Structure formats: C-alpha cells, structure tokens
Amino acid sequence: MTIRVLVVDDSGFFRRRVSDIINSDGRMEVVGVASNGREAIEQNELLKPDVVTMDYEMPVMDGITAVKNIMLQRPVPVLMFSSLTFEGARVTLDALDAGALDFLPKNFEDIATDSAQIKRLLTDKIAGVARNQTRVSKPIATKSTIKSDLSKTELIIIGTSTGGPAALQVLFKALPATFKTPIIIVQHMPGSFTPAFAERLNNISPLAIKEAVNGDVIKSGHVYVAPGGMQLMVDRRNGGSIHIRESDPRVNYRPSVDIAFASAAKHYGANVLGVVLTGMGADGREGARLLKEAKSHIWAQDEESSIIFGMPMAVIKEGLSDEILALTNIAGRLASDVG
C-alpha cells in the first residue's frame, strides 16, 4: 500500500524538494502540501494522509501548535524538520512532547554526504513512522514469569531511538530521588541535541542528569547521556569511568547502543542491566548478546507501549531479553529490584 504524505513548510523551495524526493520513492506519494500550521490541520482532515512532514517555524500557526491540534483532531505520525542548533533542539523536543514521532535536520547536507543518502534518510524515516500510529503507554503485567536477580547490578545502560525522548521522560519522572545505581542513556540523536535533551531530563527528574564528557567518574545517583555524534564506552577500573571517542564512520549509529553494551560486558561482566526501549532498527541486539554471555540481564520494552518496536523486538526475537515490560512499569521495577 502506498504511503500518502502531506508536506508542510512555508518555503516553496523546500516543499518542492521534499515532494520530489518522496515522489521518487515507489513506496510513497505526496497527496498535498501546506504552507502553515493552520493549513496543515485542514489538509490533514481533508486528505487523511498516512504521514505529515512538518516544519516548526511558519506564519499563521507554528509547527508545534499544529502538531498539538493534529493529535487532538486526527492523530497521524508526524516527522518534524529542525535546525541543528541548541535552540532548534529545544523546539524539536517540544514537538516530540506534543506528539511528533521523529525528526530530521532541515539542512540535509549536515547529515548526508550525497544525494542518494539524503533520499534514503528521508524516505526511510517516513516509511518507519508510517508503520506506527501513536500509542498510549499504559501499565500491563510483566510478561516474564521469573524475576531476574538484580541485587548485584552496578550499572544500568538504557538504549533507545525513535520515541525515546518521550519514553525517557516518563521513566525519569517516576524514578525516586533515593535511586542510587548509576545510569547511562544511549539515545540516537545529533550532537547539537544531546545537551538540551540532558538539560530537559535533569529539569523533570529528581536525579542528577548531565551530558557525559570524556573522563567522567561514574557516580552513585547520577545519570549520563551519551553525546550525539560520538561513541560512549565504560571502564570499571578506578571506581568506574566514561570514555567518549570519535566514531568509526562505518558505524551507523552515533552513539551506538551496541558499543556501549559491549564495553559494559567487557568491564562490568555480570553486574549490568541493559534496557532496550522503543526505536527503529536493531541497535542493541549484538551488544545485548555480549551482555548475556557475560551473565548480565536485559529488559525490553513491550510492543504495546513502544512507539517503534524495532529495537526491543530485535532483542526479544533473539531470546536475549530476561523480561518484557510496559514503559510505565519500568521505573517501579528499577526502584524495587535494583540494588
């Protein structure tokens, strides 16, 4: 079935450029365009697209307000375009809070090396969000029958991608201030976004949350966000520390959950809890395999509460998950079972 897309942007040039890329992909077609948020709401009702691509800065009505109204009137997957700046990151995070599923930098050349890569980035994102309508997370029973023994856990690593910013806010709002086991977050995100994202999490959580820097000592009760565009590894020696490195260009994800998991398996052995949340693709699967070989534990978010079930599903299908949990159950289980 062809994916029907509504393109929203106040720039006629950008609307044409995005439309040409979409229409060149046999899986999808542009069924309409809009130049502001108000038109976007009207066209969404009239044309009933499967996906909306949305700019954030427009006349008449901005993109965030439009997303909020779309989610109230006719919810549909929204892919936001954003600028790669600190302020652009804040706006994009606001859009994700409003209900947008994912985002892409508006200046494609910032993230791609050639036109073929630009086309693939955009169309694969559209195809990915089209497969997933917005879901509402709600508590359900744990799907495992035997709880893992997590009393010796020294480090928690959470890996996520699409849907992660919203999921992590739910989780960290619910963790108590008394929670002491250090946590590392690996969220697929550009380097200009992770400082603003860490700031946002820190503002809503009772825990101390910051963007990780090379040489950080891993402290009790602290949370570290892997910087975008780089790779994060951990070392247990000297009380535990974080190492940030330039990424090999052959690695698709920067930061990569697989790389963080692998370093934890090497240095922490059986004393790690890996948590795989919502996200496209399979990043985390091979790292989870290494953690399991080291006798560590893996939790995966369930399908019902995941915006995109790709990453958790990849771990579950390989038989690597010890437990499958609803998003709203994870914080409570961490508080009751870890340490």
pLDDT in the model for residue 237:
87
Residue 243: phi and psi, rounded to 5, are: -125, 125
Digit-coded pLDDT (tens) for 30-88: 999 999 999 999 999 999 999 999 999 999 999 999 999 999 999 999 999 988 777 88
- Joined together, the tokens standing for residue 103 give 């985002």
What is the radius of gyration, based on Cα positions, of the chain?
20
Tokens 């609803």 belong to 326
Beta-bridge mates of residue 183: 156, 223
pLDDT in the model for residue 110:
55
CA dist., res. 271 & res. 292, Å (int) = 11
Q: What are the residue ranges of helices labelled H in 1-55?
A: 12-23, 37-47
Beta-bridge mates of residue 81: 104
pLDDT in the model for residue 76:
96
| Residue among 300, 325, 324 nearest 312 (CA) | 300
pLDDT in the model for residue 87:
83
CA angle, residues 312, 315, 321, in degrees to nearest 5: 95
11 DSSP assignment: -
pLDDT in the model for residue 118:
80
Domains of the chain: 3-130 (3.40.50.2300), 155-337 (3.40.50.180)
pTM over 0.85, yes/no: yes
- Joined together, the tokens standing for residue 16 give 């044409």
Sign for the CA dihedral angle at 4, 9, 15, 21 comes to negative
- Catalytic residue set: 161, 188, 283
> Are the C-beta atoms of 307 and 315 separated by less than 8 Å?
no
Cβ burial 248-283 (10 Å sphere, 16+ → b, else e): eeeeebbbbbbbbbbbbbebbbebbbbbbbbbbbbb
Contacts for 140-145 with beta carbons within 8 Å, 24 or more apart?
140/302, 140/304, 140/305, 140/326, 140/329, 142/323, 142/324, 142/325, 142/329, 142/333, 143/302, 143/323, 143/324, 143/325, 144/322, 144/323, 144/324
pLDDT in the model for residue 108:
62
Q: At 293, which amino acid appears?
A: E
CA dist., res. 298 & res. 322, Å (int) = 5
217 DSSP assignment: B
One digit per residue, pLDDT tens: the chain, 339 residues?
899 999 999 999 999 999 999 999 999 999 999 999 999 999 999 999 999 999 999 999 999 999 999 999 999 999 999 887 778 899 999 999 999 999 988 876 655 556 787 888 899 999 988 976 544 334 433 455 456 689 899 999 999 999 999 999 999 999 999 999 999 999 999 998 999 999 999 999 999 999 999 999 999 999 999 999 999 999 998 889 999 999 988 898 999 999 999 999 999 999 999 999 999 999 999 999 999 999 999 999 999 999 999 999 999 999 999 999 999 999 999 999 996
Q: Dump the DSSP string for 48-93.
A: --SEEEE-SS-SSS-HHHHHHHHHHHS---EEEEE-SSHHHHHHHH
pLDDT in the model for residue 141:
39
